[in-house]
Structure 1
């Protein structure tokens, strides 16, 4: 889980505004074809994570127009057949999910509200799940995930006021792991029960294998945020077989790395190269060497493994991190180095938070597009 996601509360009024987006005509063709039980080889769902957070500045705030352009690029340029719509804010989640469904994409919908009281997280989950069920009943192809790495986002499971404090507490080793896992299991079961009440399709959860010990009997699809690194592909196959023992479809709910040398070896901590105490934020010493080729090669290697194992789904993390702009020629402030995005944000006025910006594909975007395109032609 890359730590650039922002959390916020949700009001009833904002949910009702978002729910109005449900009035769209949904296709019943290509995106749902895989649900008809036909034999297949390779991945069924080839996707990308699309985060719908509020943004850190007005310039990077979520917008309907940008979202629509991005989703068309996901379908037409990246050749994905799935989009993992994740983040907080029911209006943003539901509007994006409805647009993706209208485009014929399979929707993996996953709310990730955090750092608020438990009851607010569960209300946010329920509102999003009800919307997912309405999409499903209208003919859209939808899976619903009740959340992501609850130990990280839900207060009270691990001490700490925010995700950074919880990670530090976990890494310190000064933690009663048995008690933590009991609290985590209790909340996961509560979220699963609520998910079942509001959504009647396939249910899942995005787990962190090194922390979560999920009772997968609660879910239809095993979900894993996967950031392992092995020097040989056989290592990935051996590890992934462990998750198949449950006899259920396996979805790789996140996988990815950053665009610098050595990033794959850092696993899910590749983002931790930024000194947030500085103004403006800057890359810590020693500054890593930018390498888009490194990111692309890692993603393609893992996709080859997932395809060969006929897994259910794999979602590249992530499409874009708008608040981590790429600054060519300024490696000290090239915050895109800490991004898992396969596209990079380019400001018209580098360093100005109010600057207009656009995104450009990285080498990883092109590499994944080729892999997805070829795999789709074979099926």
Structure 2
């Protein structure tokens, strides 16, 4: 498993020294071989990618223009990112991959019914249950494939390196035009028992192409492994000050065990690699007051303070990922 990665958000506060420090930690302390850089600001993505390449990390660039944008804006943003990624690829052959979108059916307008993200989340259980035979699944798949044809063409027009897509686990993607298969494959209560089977089915459908799990993770509270990717729902976001709902207890070992177990499973399954979601979640800051400790619902392997979001402390998940990645057989040395 030569792609041992973690995602890193380049939006929010931008401190060049902190970004360099974080990317060095990802390479030297987490034993990653690759980082998935995600963000809307193409200049920041490019600059962070250059830093990462200098540290010895391979780079997967995932441009995220924002949720709910019209298709033309998504395509224009992807075109700019693809041009920037091509310049990096030309300077670093074999080390840059473009991820041409993420879960478009959920994050863009006009594919899944609903005016905004929270409404579009509601039909996901139905899409999972109908096995691809229901009318909603057919509608979403038709619209999604139209979108993917446009985004793939936009990416290929500017970028000469490998291209993939970070598919939602409910999405039905035609992978024939991509260089590898990428899926955000969370394990949670509804698929826990058949998760190994899902991995096997994914590799079979890949038709010999490499498979990468582009996103997986959970929160840091007891029971988070059953709820993810819905860990954010334990927060009362509409309170005057967002707070944790009653009954949820901090448990960093739940998150650590979840990540290490899945990394081991991926290595045994023969897939090419995976990306932990995520390094840090500044929007879910840690607090010593359990009522406001939003880090419980965050997916970061480090915890950050609301007063100093650029600073962080390692969580149990950080050390679990480091141990797991160091132990996995791989082709690229840390």
Q: Same fold (TM over 0.5)?
A: yes
Cα-to-partner distance string for 1:1-47 (whole Å, 9 max, x where unaligned): xxxxxxxxxxxxxxxxxxxxxxxxxxxxxxxxxxxxxxxxxx11101
Alpha-carbon spacing, 1:175–1:284, altered in 2? closer, same or farther (3 Å):
farther
In structure 1, runs of 5+ residues without a counterpart are: 1-42, 56-60, 349-354
Paired residues of 2:188 and 2:228 also in contact (CA < 8 A): yes
State the shift of 1:368 in Å: 0.7
Which of 229, 245, 260 is 1:300 aligned to? 260
Do the aligned partners of residues 125 and 370 (structure 1) sit closer, same or farther apart at CA in structure 2, a change above 3 Å counting?
same
Aligned to 1:109: 61
Measured in 2, the distance between the counterparts of 1:197 and 1:357 equals 36
Query: Aligned pair 1:79/2:31, yes or no?
Result: yes
Distance 2:220 2:252 in 1: 5
Q: In the TM superposition, what whole-angstrom CA distance separates every residue of 1:78-109 from its partner, at most 9, and x where no partner exists?
A: 11111000121111211111111121101011
Distance (Å, rounded) in 2 between the aligned partners of 1:167 and 1:96: 31
Alpha-carbon contact 1:133-1:201 (below 8 Å) kept:
yes
2:323 corresponds to: 370
* Offset at residue 259 of structure 1 (A): 0.6
- The answer to whether the 8 A contact 2:281-2:304 is kept is yes
Match of 1:276 among 231, 237, 259: 237
Whole-angstrom CA distance in 1 between matches of 2:254 and 2:65: 32
Q: CA deviation at 1:138?
A: 0.9
CA RMSD of aligned residues (A): 2.4
What 5-or-longer segments of structure 2 have no aligned partner? 128-133
**Per-residue deviation, 1:274:** 1.0
Q: How does 1:94-173 map to 2 (within 5 A)?
A: 94-114=46-66, 115-140=68-93, 141-168=95-122, 170=124
Q: Give the direction of change, closer, same or farther, for the CA distance of 1:357–1:198 in structure 2 (3 Å limit).
A: closer
- Residue 319 of structure 1 and its aligned partner are, at CA, apart by 0.1
Q: Does residue 241 of structure 1 match 2:200?
A: yes
Q: Deviations over 1:229-278 (max 9, x none)?
A: 47999843322011111221000101111111111111311121111111
- Secondary structure of the 1:271 match is helix
Matched length = 322
Structure 2 Cα separation of the partners of residues 258 and 184 of structure 1: 29
Change (3 A) 1:97 1:147: same
Q: Which residue of 1 aligns with 2:9?
A: 51
TM-score normalised over the length of structure 1: 0.79
**2:211 aligned to which of 234, 250, 260:** 250
Alignment partner, residue 140 of structure 2: 180
Equivalent residue number for residue 89 of structure 1: 41
Q: Mark the CA change 1:357 to 1:92 in structure 2 (over 3 Å): closer, same or farther.
A: closer
Measure, in 1, the Cα distance between the counterparts of 2:26 and 2:181: 24
The verdict on how the C-alpha distance between 1:232 and 1:253 changes in structure 2, with shifts beyond 3 A counting, is closer
The Cα of 1:347 is off from its aligned counterpart by 4.0
TM normalised by structure 2 equals 0.90
CA gap of 1:67–1:151, structure 2 versus 1, over 3 A, is: same
Do the aligned partners of 2:183 and 2:214 also contact (CA within 8 Å) in 1?
yes
